[in-house]
Amino acid sequence: MTFRKSLALFFSHMIAVSARRMVVHESLAAAPGSFVSQGPAPATDMLTLRLALAPNNIAGLQAKMMSISTPGSSEHRQWLSADEVKSFVKPSSATTFAVMKFASTHGLNATVISPHEDWVSITLSVAQANDLFAAQYQVYSHPSMSNTITRTLSVSLPPELVGHIQVIHPTTAFLKPGSRTGSTTGHVQHNKRATPPSCDTSLASGVMTPACLQSIYGIPATPATQSNNALLVTAYVNQSAQKADLEQFLELLRPDVDPSESFTLLSLDGGNDPQNPSDTKDDEANLDIQYTAGIATGVPLKFLSVGGDFATGLLDTTTFIHGLEDPPTVVSTSYSLSEESFGFTLASKICDTYMSLGARGISLLFSSGDGGVRGGHDDISECKNNTFVATFPNSCPWVTSVGATIGFGPETAVNFTGGGFSNYFPIPSYQSDAVAGFLETLPTDFQGTFNSNGRGYPDVSLQGVNFQIVLGGEVTGVGGTSASTPTFASIISLINDQLIAAGKPVLGFLNPFLYYYASTALTDITAGHNSGVCPVSTVAFNAGVGWDPLTGSGTPIFDQLLAAAMGVAAPGSYNDTNTVHTSGAVVDTVSALSDDSATGTDGSDGSVRKYGPIIIGLLSGNLVLLLILVILGVGQYIRRGGTARQSSKYAPVKLREEDSMSKMAPYDVE
Ligand SMILES: *[C@@H]1O[C@H](CO)[C@@H](O)[C@H](O)[C@H]1NC(C)=O
Ligand SMILES: *[C@@H]1O[C@H](CO)[C@@H](O)[C@H](O)[C@H]1NC(C)=O
Ligand SMILES: *[C@@H]1O[C@H](CO)[C@@H](O)[C@H](O)[C@H]1NC(C)=O
Ligand SMILES: *[C@@H]1O[C@H](CO)[C@@H](O)[C@H](O)[C@H]1NC(C)=O
Ligand SMILES: *[C@@H]1O[C@H](CO)[C@@H](O)[C@H](O)[C@H]1NC(C)=O
C-alpha cells in the first residue's frame, strides 16, 4: 500500500513536472472557415480519442513499396502479405509500452482498434483530455451543419509520448461540410431528360454512357471471369446506392448484361444503405455504383457505406480494408476536402496507410476534386484569391488521382477539374521529371501561389461531363471528377481480371506504372484551363504537352494499358521527355539504407544523380525520426529496467468503435 501510494505520488509529481514541458503537437491560430466557437466543451462530456502510434519502420516500407511498384525492378508487383506489411507498420515495443504506460498511469483503457496495432482508442472526459494534452476543447458550430463538433485549437504531448504518438484525433481537424467531389460545386447540371444510349462524338461534349466510354477508350464489354477480384466503391456522408436505379440503369444502358447484377453491401461505423427509390439526393453513390457496374462488366462489386464524420471514416476505411480476409484489388473514392482541414498529422497518417494498402496490391483511386485550382474554394467570391487550395486524400502520393476531361475533337481538360500541388506531401520520384517538365512551362510572372515542391495531381484523367445515370427512377446527366474516377477504377479492375486469369499479379499501387508507360498507354490532353466556377480570365493552370495539373498524363488507351500490364509492351518503349523514368536506381539508393528493402535493378542509367537527393532527403527525415524513436525507446527500456513488454495486455481488435464526438451534421448534398 505504502509503496503504491508513494509510487502514485511519484507519478503525479512526474506528471506535474512534465506538464510544464508539454510539446505542442499540432495547433491552429483560429478555427478555419466559418466554424464558430460556442464556448468550452462541458468538462464532464466524454470524448473518444484515437491515437496513432508511430510505426516501427515506415521508411523501410516506403523503400519496399518503390521497389515492388516500379516497372523493371526484379521484384516488380511482388505485393506484400498482410503480415509483411504489419512487420513494417506495427509500432515498436518501446512505443506500445510508452503509450500503454501512459494510459494505465492515468486510469485509461487503451483499446487497439487496427489490425496493425497502430491505432488505439481511449475514452475520457473533456476535463481529463484538456489536462493530459494541454488542450482546450470547445464546441464549434458551422452555418451549414445542424450538429456541433468538439475540437481544440491546440494539442500537446507529454515528453514521454513525443515520437511515439503521431496523431490524436479528433483534435484540430475541422472538416467543412461538403466532402463529396461530385455535385457540390453547382456546375454539375442535372439534366432531366431521357437520352438515347448513344455516343455522338460529333457533339461538342457528347452524352456519356457506358457504351460511349467503351467506344472512346476501347474498353471491352466482355464480362470479367475472375471471382477474387473485387472492386470496392466507398461512400461517406450518408450517400446510399439504390438497387432499383442500378437495375433500371443496366436495362437501359447495358442491355447486354443481366440487370440483376448487383453489389455486396459492406458497412462501417454505422453506415448503411437504405433503399428509398424516390430519393434523389444520392447522386454520388448512384453515379459511382452505376459506372462501376456499367464499365467493370462482371467484376465482383462491393459498396462500403461508412458512417460518422469524413476524417474518422477515411481512417477507419483504411484499417477496415487491412482487416479484410479477402481485400478488394481496386478501391474507388469520389470524396475529398481541402488538405488543411485534415491537418498535417492526420493526413500524413492516412496517406501512410494508403501506402501500406498499395503495397498489398490494392489500387486506390481518388477524384481530384471539382474546384479547379481552388480546391475547396469553389465559391465565386474567392476567384480573386490566387492562393491555390490542394485537396486530400487525392494529394497523397500513394494514391492515383483522377481528373476530368470533356469533348472529343480534341478531348480537353474540363474547367472544373481539380489540379495542383500538395502543401503536405513532397514530390514523389515517379513524377519528378513529369512535374519538372510542366513547371518549366509556367511563365516566370505566374500569379498563382502554390507549393512547387509538392506532389502534383491528378495523375490521369477521363471524361467527366454529362454522364447519364438513373436517379429516383429518372435518367439524369451528372458529372465531375466523381464520374471519371469510378470509370478509371473499372478499367483497372478489368485489366486485373485478365492479369489474374493469366496467373500474373494485379496492378496494385499504380503510379510508377502509369508514369512509366504514359506516352504509349495514355492520350496526352493538351488544352484546357482549370479556373473552375471562376471566369476564364481567372488565374489557373493550363493543360499542355506532357503531364499537367489538370489531366495528369492523360486519358486511358485500354489495349495499351493492358499490354503494358501483361508485360507485352517492352519496358522503356516510352520516350516522352515529360515522363518520369522511375528507375531501379532510386530503389538502390533506398535499399542501401534499409536492409528490408530488396535488391533493385541496376542503376546504370545515371538517374540516381537526379533523384537521389530527393529520396535521400525524404529518407533522412525518416531516419532522424527513427533515430529519435530508437533513442526514446532505449531510454524507456532502461528506465523500466529492461522489461519493456506490454502487448499481451491489448484488448482484441474492435473496428466498430463509435466515436462519440465525431458526429457531424448533414452535409448539404443538394
Ligand atoms: C477498463 O476496462 C475494464 C474491462 O473492460 C473495465 O472494467 C473498466 O471499468 C474500464 N475502465 C475505464 C476507466 O473505462
Ligand atoms: C486565400 O486563400 C488562402 C488559402 O485558403 C487563405 O489562407 C487566405 O487567407 C486567403 N486570402 C484571402 C485574402 O482571403
Ligand atoms: C466551364 O465549362 C462548361 C462546359 O464547357 C461551360 O458551360 C461553363 O460555362 C464553363 N464555366 C465557366 C465559368 O467558364
Ligand atoms: C520518340 O522520340 C523521338 C525523338 O524525340 C520522336 O521523333 C518520336 O516521335 C518519339 N516516339 C514516340 C513513340 O513518342
Ligand atoms: C446521416 O444520417 C443520420 C441518421 O439519419 C444523421 O443522424 C446524420 O447526421 C447524417 N449524417 C450526415 C453526415 O449527413
Please report the sign of the dihedral spanned by the C-alpha atoms of residue 123, residue 128, residue 131, residue 134.
positive
Closest approach atom of ligand 3 to CA 465: 4
Give me the pLDDT at residue 596, please.
Answer: 28
C-alpha cell at 285: 453513390
pTM of the model: 0.82
| Tens-digit pLDDT profile for residues 83-100 | 999 999 999 999 999 999
Q: Of residues 91 and 648, which shows the higher confidence score?
A: 91
Write phi, then psi, for 282 (nearest 5 degrees): -95, 45
For ligand 2, atom 12, the nearest C-alpha belongs to 385
pLDDT band at residue 180, thresholds of 50, 70 and 90? low
Q: Among the residues of 442-594, which ranges form H helices? A: 481-501, 511-516, 518-521, 558-566, 584-591
Closest approach atom of ligand 4 to CA 573: 13
Give me the pLDDT at residue 380, please.
Answer: 80
Per-residue pLDDT at 119 exceeds 80 = yes
Looking at the CA of 122, name the nearest ligand.
1
CA of 658 to the centre of ligand 1 (A): 16
Residues 316 and 269 sit within 8 Å (Cβ to Cβ): yes
| Tens-digit pLDDT profile for residues 516-539 | 999 999 999 999 999 998 999 999
Looking at the CA of 575, name the nearest ligand.
4
Question: What are the binding residues for Ca(2+)?
Answer: 524-525, 546, 548
CA dihedral 187, 193, 199, 205 (to 10 degrees): -30
For ligand 4, atom 1, the nearest C-alpha belongs to 575
The residue whose CB lies within 8 Å of the most ligand 5 atoms, and thus the one to mutate among 238, 667, 669, is 238
Separation between Cα atoms, residue 290 and residue 175, nearest integer Å = 28
Separation between Cα atoms, residue 97 and residue 520, nearest integer Å = 51
C-alpha cell at 140: 464549434
| Tens-digit pLDDT profile for residues 257-296 | 999 989 999 999 999 999 987 778 888 999 999 999 999 9
DSSP symbol at 180: B
Residues 6+ apart with CB under 8 A from 221: 214, 256, 297
Our answer on whether the CB atom of 253 is closer than 6 Å to any ligand 2 atom is no
Residues 6+ apart with CB under 8 A from 669: 180, 183, 184, 237, 238, 239, 281, 282, 284
The residue whose CB lies within 8 Å of the most ligand 4 atoms, and thus the one to mutate among 517, 524, 575, is 575
Residue whose C-alpha is closest to residue 336's, from 182, 132, 470: 182
What is the widest separation between alpha-carbon atoms in the chain? 88
Give me the pLDDT at residue 381, please.
Answer: 83
C-alpha cell at 559: 489495349
Residues 120 and 167 sit within 8 Å (Cβ to Cβ): no
DSSP symbol at 212: H
| Tens-digit pLDDT profile for residues 309-318 | 899 999 999 9
Taking CA atoms, 345 is separated from 24, 88, 166, in Å, by 12, 19, 6
Domain 183-600, CATH:
3.40.50.200
Looking at the CA of 238, name the nearest ligand.
5
CA of 31 to the centre of ligand 2 (A): 14
CA of 46 to the centre of ligand 5 (A): 21
Our answer on whether the CB atom of 449 is closer than 6 Å to any ligand 2 atom is no
CA of 310 to the centre of ligand 5 (A): 12
Taking CA atoms, 270 is separated from 120, 346, 663, in Å, by 19, 22, 11
Closest approach atom of ligand 5 to CA 177: 13
| Tens-digit pLDDT profile for residues 381-407 | 889 999 999 999 999 999 999 999 998
Provide the 10 A C-beta neighbour count for residue 473: 12
Looking at the CA of 339, name the nearest ligand.
2
| Residues labelled catalytic | 284, 288, 482
Looking at the CA of 240, name the nearest ligand.
5
Instruction: Provide mean pLDDT across the span 169-185.
Output: 68
Instruction: Provide mean pLDDT across the span 461-466.
Output: 94
DSSP string, 463-502: E-S-EEEEETTEEEEE-SHHHHHHHHHHHHHHHHHHHHHT
Write phi, then psi, for 251 (nearest 5 degrees): -60, -40
Provide the 10 A C-beta neighbour count for residue 328: 26
Cross-strand pairs, 150: 139
For ligand 5, atom 1, the nearest C-alpha belongs to 238
Q: Among the residues of 254-372, which ranges form H helices? A: 283-295, 310-323, 339-342, 344-359
Separation between Cα atoms, residue 167 and residue 54, nearest integer Å = 9
Question: What are the binding residues?
Answer: 524-525, 546, 548
Closest approach atom of ligand 4 to CA 519: 14
Residues 170 and 61 sit within 8 Å (Cβ to Cβ): no
Mean pLDDT lowest among 154-158, 296-300, 576-580, 586-590: 586-590
Q: What angle do CA 252, 253, 256 make, to 5 degrees?
A: 95
CA of 387 to the centre of ligand 2 (A): 6
Closest approach atom of ligand 1 to CA 651: 5
For ligand 4, atom 6, the nearest C-alpha belongs to 575
Strand pairing report for 231-235 and 330-333: parallel
For ligand 1, atom 6, the nearest C-alpha belongs to 109
Q: Of residues 611 and 420, which shows the higher confidence score?
A: 420
Our answer on whether the CB atom of 389 is closer than 6 Å to any ligand 2 atom is yes
Residues 148 and 141 sit within 8 Å (Cβ to Cβ): yes
CA of 531 to the centre of ligand 3 (A): 9
Taking CA atoms, 481 is separated from 358, 366, 384, 394, in Å, by 22, 9, 24, 11
Q: How many residues does the chain have?
A: 670
Give me the pLDDT at residue 635, please.
Answer: 31
CA of 519 to the centre of ligand 4 (A): 10
Give ligand 4 pocket residues (Cβ under 6 A). Answer: 519, 575
pLDDT band at residue 179, thresholds of 50, 70 and 90? low
The residue whose CB lies within 8 Å of the most ligand 1 atoms, and thus the one to mutate among 47, 100, 105, 109, is 109
Residues 6+ apart with CB under 8 A from 587: 63, 66, 67, 70, 73, 597, 600, 601, 603
Residues 169 and 457 sit within 8 Å (Cβ to Cβ): no
Our answer on whether the CB atom of 204 is closer than 6 Å to any ligand 3 atom is no
The domains of the chain are located at 3-55+90-169, 183-600
CA of 26 to the centre of ligand 5 (A): 29
For ligand 2, atom 3, the nearest C-alpha belongs to 387
Give me the pLDDT at residue 231, please.
Answer: 98
Q: Is 412 helix (H, G, I), strand (E, B) or coil?
A: strand
DSSP symbol at 161: G
Separation between Cα atoms, residue 417 and residue 426, nearest integer Å = 22
